[in-house]
Amino acid sequence: MSLILFTIPGLIKIKLKITLPSVLEIIIYIFIFSAEILGEIYNFYGNIPNWDLMLHTINGFLCAAVGFSLIDLLNKNSKKLKLSPFYVTLVAFCFSMTVGVCWEFFEYTADKLLLYDMQKDTLVSTISTVELDPEKSNKAVVINNINKTILYDTNGNEIATIDGGYLDIGLNDTMEDLFVNLIGAITFSFIGYFYIKNRDKYKFAEHFIPVKDE
């Protein structure tokens, strides 16, 4: 999978005739290496705090740059269509968030069908749930200071003890990933907005924006 991913930037340049700025191309290669080699093979996801969050932030930034380039290219080459800078950056932002959401769908599907653990579990010490409301009145019951969770199978046999709290199965991880993806998308959206307003003054943005070969 890593080898296939490493060939994608080159294939994009050759097959689609799209030029990737050197800075963007380097970031993409580092991102693939960090996610697949360091993250999966050397388990940086489990051993380095916030490794996953850092990569999702970068992913949000990169996807916003790709979405921006697509709509900006259309906007510049169309004689009938003239989109405002705000609309172009809004599309870039939405493109990035859509990619982030689709990735989380992929992780959930892999965990559900193949029993992976792509949506990493989180230990929490406080939960609120209406399931424990004895009156079934849809009022949340708050449980604080959870120190241990004991799991039993259907025969009543104890199968695992989880020290430190209640095991949240993926929700916190998913929402954190989407939140940092949001931060990355917003960051580039601001850069893209000012770049359209004044391309000469904000030329540094060109280091992150793919362009179509003439």
Q: What is the pLDDT of residues 55-105, one digit of tens each?
A: 999 999 999 999 999 888 887 777 777 888 999 999 999 999 999 999 999
Q: Model-level pTM?
A: 0.88
In the prediction, which pLDDT does 23 show?
Answer: 93
Name every residue whose Cβ is closer than 8 Å to that of residue 144 and which is 6 or more positions away in sequence: 125, 126
Residues of the chain with pLDDT under 50: none
> What are the boundaries of each domain within the chain?
2-115+170-212, 122-166
pLDDT confidence of residue 214? 66
The pLDDT value recorded for residue 110 is 93
Query: Tell me, what's the pLDDT at 3?
Result: 87
- Burial of residue 19 (CB within 10 Å: 0-12, 13-18, 19+) is middle
Sign of the dihedral defined by the CA atoms of residues 100, 101, 104, 109, in that order = negative
C-alpha distances out from residue 7 to 4, 14, 47, 163, Å: 5, 11, 28, 44
CA distance linking residue 70 with residue 75, whole number of Å = 9
What does pLDDT average to over the chain? Answer: 91
